[in-house]
Amino acid sequence: MEIIKVNSYEEMSQKASEILQKQLLEKQNSVLGLATGSTPIGLYEHLIELNKEGKISFKDVVTFNLDEYVGLERTHNQSYYYFMQEQLFKHVDIKEENIHIPSGVAEDLEAECKRYEEQLKALGPVDLQVLGVGVNGHIGFNEPGTDFSSRTHIVELDQSTREANARFFNNIDEVPTHAITMGIQSIMDSKKILLLAFGESKKDAIERLLSGEVTEDLPVSVLNKHSNVTVIYG
Ligand code: F6R
């Protein structure tokens, strides 16, 4: 595991963008695994800039997002589809057909999980997976206690996760109770993983990860079993 300690959110974002840039220069048709949330926004800003300057291109890039809320249409301003459009996709030269995000409004959600996992298998493996981490150590929406062998599935969100994400909604009652997420094994299948974490609230999860602990009570700790992980934290 490569561990990079930074002093600011900007430094984390800059360093992360250098890793993504290197990945895209080495393999133009990379399959990227992407996360939403506050953590990768700075990284995405850098990628947009690099794309505008002609230093990287997304024209052959394929993306898979980690998760989506159940019940939110793509057009809902808190859906992860909407987030990705606003924070990255609409600003770069990616092809719409190369973007993959699970649908949280599929009629048959179990079938949607299966379909997503099959797409991942067909187009994957993911070359580089970007991850954030929840205060409770979740990755994707795999909450504490999730089986390490899990694949794309429906989860009931922890109350702490709904509270953490309520800041984006008018009130906590509007935060969906369920989500569809890539499983822990689906994430572990990626060739490389880049974990980003910044701020006091993430310290505990990161310290436990770096202690080498491996437990299903702390989903992010599974990364101790992966052979190519970079952690940038501050
Ligand atoms: C988002 C995701 C989540 C977030 C985590 C941290 O796609 O998979 O695991 O990475 O909840 O969220 P932020 O970055 O908002 O602190």
pTM of model > 0.95: yes
Q: Which atom of ligand 1 has the smallest separation from the CA of 161?
A: 11
Query: Any residues with CB less than 8 A from the CB of 85 and at least 6 apart, and which?
Result: none
Regarding the beta carbon of 20 and ligand 1, being less than 6 Å apart is answered no
Helix (H) or strand (E) holding 203: helix 203-210
Q: Residue-wise over 140-150: b if at least 16 C-beta within 10 A, else e?
A: bbbbbebebeb
Q: What is the pLDDT of residues 83-139, one digit of tens each?
A: 999 999 999 999 999 999 999 999 999 999 999 999 999 999 999 999 999 999 999
Specify the residue for token string 């981490």.
Answer: 133
Share of the chain above pLDDT 70, in %: 100
- Cβ–ligand 1 distance for 87 under 6 Å, the answer no
Report the catalytic residues: 67, 136, 138, 143
Residue 4: per-residue pLDDT: 98
Q: Is 108 helix (H, G, I), strand (E, B) or coil?
A: coil
Burial 33-50 (b: 16+ CB within 10 A, else e): bbbbbebbebbbbbbbeb
Query: Each residue of 175-185: pLDDT tens digit?
Result: 999 999 999 99
CB-ligand 1 contact for 39 (6 Å cutoff): yes
Summarize pLDDT for 203-232 with one digit per residue, the tens. 999 999 999 999 999 999 999 999 999 999
Q: How far apart are CA 18 and CA 44, in angstroms?
A: 12
Between helix 9-26 and helix 41-52 the angle, nearest 10°, is 50
Respond yes or no on whether the N-terminal peptide bond of residue 125 is cis (omega within 30° of 0): yes
